[in-house]
Amino acid sequence: MTLSSPAPVLGVVGGGQLGRMLAEAAAPLGVEVLVSDPTPDAPAAPVARDQIVGGFDDPEAVRELAERSDYLTFEIELADPDLLERVAQETDTPVHPKPETLRIIEDKLVQKRRLAEAGVPVPQFREVDSADELREALDDLGYPAMLKARKGGYDGRGNVPVETPDDVEEAFAEIVDAAQGGSQEDPSGVAMVEEMVDFERELAVMGCLGSALHGDGAQQRDTFPVTETIHEEEILRETVSPARAEESVRERARQVALDVLDVMEGRGVYGIELFEGPEGEILLNEIAPRPHNSGHWTIEGCHTSQFEQHVRAVTGRPLGTTDRRAPTVSANILGDVDERQEATLSGEDEVFEAPRAHLHWYGKREVYPLRKMGHVALVGKRDERTDRLLAEVRELRDGLSFR
């Protein structure tokens, strides 16, 4: 693709913070971003070329997006793969990752089955369509276990731990309410349960699939450095890169991520979440067919960010280097309020004054408890200890408040 004016347009289903950061990364590449999102003046709107207001599965909105774009992608799994495929064919607008990949990933049960068939190591899991089936599955898997919504749910809202047999009924009812398409009257097809993994730490790898650049037809394939992710209440709080794991463990994690990429169809960046077991074994947790919160550190920490890489990939450009510049950590800024209110942040001057610290504001108008509002990244010096960086970025993050 050559640079031109007017610029090629990348259409993105979803206009949240990921769409915002995609637009920020696309501009220097000579690519304009158009987003569709049901929320008027969505976070991506101020930095994108334009926003189409419409639901993620709104045929008219997605068709308009395709007609006005040269390429299509999505930043949220609520996009409808059947609609994307149909509109892409009718408008001759390529969509990446492929809708078939979204079909695999949007349903966590389908995702786990497909990856297990491909030999990717995954925790033991079962499909459960009722509280009775959940109880039977846990007789086999044991307690505690993690009950998950097959579709929908994020930041802990689609995961419910089941600690004892007494928790089964309440946990199943809670997950049906959280799942996409579920109802208490007909809860079938909305839940799965996994064994509770005894992990040493959680890891993430941002995988990349690009175009076939040479005559042999081999698709470009790469990974960003393995990152440690720190969660609390199922919500990502901090990332640490390099991960505080043995080099042999990081290499195993990278190899599992490459095996995952072999199952995916279509160009783009994939967020691959993993568990490191007590003996250094690696198990797959979940996949996102898009840039991911665990890769935000790459904006300052790598020569190519995950967002630039995604734009490069879906528009058919060569992938950029994934090399890390220096040890880098990040901390999410979450809503610390008791109820929904206008978002006004205080304490940011301390972040601006800190050397090598970077504040990212997602432009959300309202804050509510634990909502992701931004993040702080801190880049260290060469070979600097990540423990010290993590303590410093936590202190900077904890000095921010919406109260």
Fold annotation for 124-195: Dna Ligase; domain 1 (3.30.1490)
pLDDT in the model for residue 189? 84
Q: For domain 9-95, give the CATH number.
A: 3.40.50.20
The reply to whether 21 sits in an annotated binding site is no
For the domain made up of 201-398, the CATH class stated in words is alpha beta
Q: What is the mean pLDDT of residues 310-329?
A: 97
Confidence of residue 297 (pLDDT cuts 50, 70, 90): very high
The reply to whether 200 sits in an annotated binding site is no
The reply to whether 159 sits in an annotated binding site is no
Strand partners, 201: 276
DSSP 150-186: SSS--TTTTEEEE-SGGGHHHHHHHHHHHSTT--SS-
151 contacts 300 by C-beta, under 8 angstroms: no
pTM above 0.85, yes or no: yes
The reply to whether 231 sits in an annotated binding site is yes
Helix (H, G, I), strand (E, B) or coil at 126: strand
- As annotated, the residues of the chain forming the CATH 3.40.50.20 domain(s) are 9-95
The reply to whether 285 sits in an annotated binding site is yes
- As annotated, the residues of the chain forming the CATH 3.30.1490.20 domain(s) are 124-195
DSSP assignment, residue 401?
Answer: B
Token pair belonging to 307 = 């967002």
The reply to whether 202 sits in an annotated binding site is yes
The reply to whether 233 sits in an annotated binding site is no
The reply to whether 197 sits in an annotated binding site is yes
Is pLDDT at 214 greater than 70 in this prediction? no
- As annotated, the residues of the chain forming the CATH 3.30.470.20 domain(s) are 201-398
Confidence of residue 382 (pLDDT cuts 50, 70, 90): confident
* pLDDT, tens digit, 9 for 90 and up, residues 141-198: 999 999 999 987 666 578 899 999 999 999 999 998 877 666 676 677 889 999 999 9
* pLDDT, tens digit, 9 for 90 and up, residues 234-250: 899 999 999 999 999 99
Residue 173's nearest CA partner among 215, 128, 218, 140 is 128
